[in-house]
Structure 1
């Protein structure tokens, strides 16, 4: 009878080991599914971040194009106004003396160049500020992306640790029951 009991005890241990093995396999499978879900979420987050960065680059290109258009318009307008002044002075001086006419033209041209340089300097400053702001925003986006990845990794590690502790508790309970 004792031999049979020992045999039954062996069968019980085998059954417990099989159950523990099945539980471990199921837990591992669930963890794999969880990790896959996390990866899918990360992929979606990455796609969203990449889309945001692409939108930012597109907006930056649009802003640069608009700034260049504004620069050209400012230069053309300032030149037109300068030439207009020169022509007016020419007509006025033609009524008087020819020498003053040439002097008037030279003066107006000088003002015209000065206006162009001021406009270009202002536009260059604006372009520099815009580029710096865009670069800072891209760096912030990159930092946020890295922080999100780190947070998700920490959460996964916490889940894995909790699963491991639960598995240890289950193993201890099984051993105590045996």
Structure 2
């Protein structure tokens, strides 16, 4: 259908890109993103979000950084959805300094952005930092969700924190 379209808009490009990304065809999604760019179509927040999801799935931090540059140059630099996706990308790729930079530069944070940081620290083996972020989240009045609690549990399973959890339940 896409190939038969006489004119392709950002909506049609993004639908194709998002479809590939959601179904796990991340490399194909990024090829569509590149083709869209070369066709001269400007991306929107949904396009960038789907491209970042593909980068995260592929653990492709270099490509994610390129997309981050496009986001920051455009009108989406303050977009909460995209900033959270960038935190998630960097943290899952083991680039916690980059994740922290994006997180700290956010003018607004939601539970998704907090979860990206807490989960990133937990996955990367920084349990103490995950707990520190969780406490900061609570002090800031943010209400945790099931993903937050799952991330805290992941952090708890590591090393001496498992002992602390078992002492709480004893």
> Do the two structures share a fold, i.e. TM-score over 0.5?
no
More helix by share: 1
With normalisation by structure 1, the TM-score equals 0.21
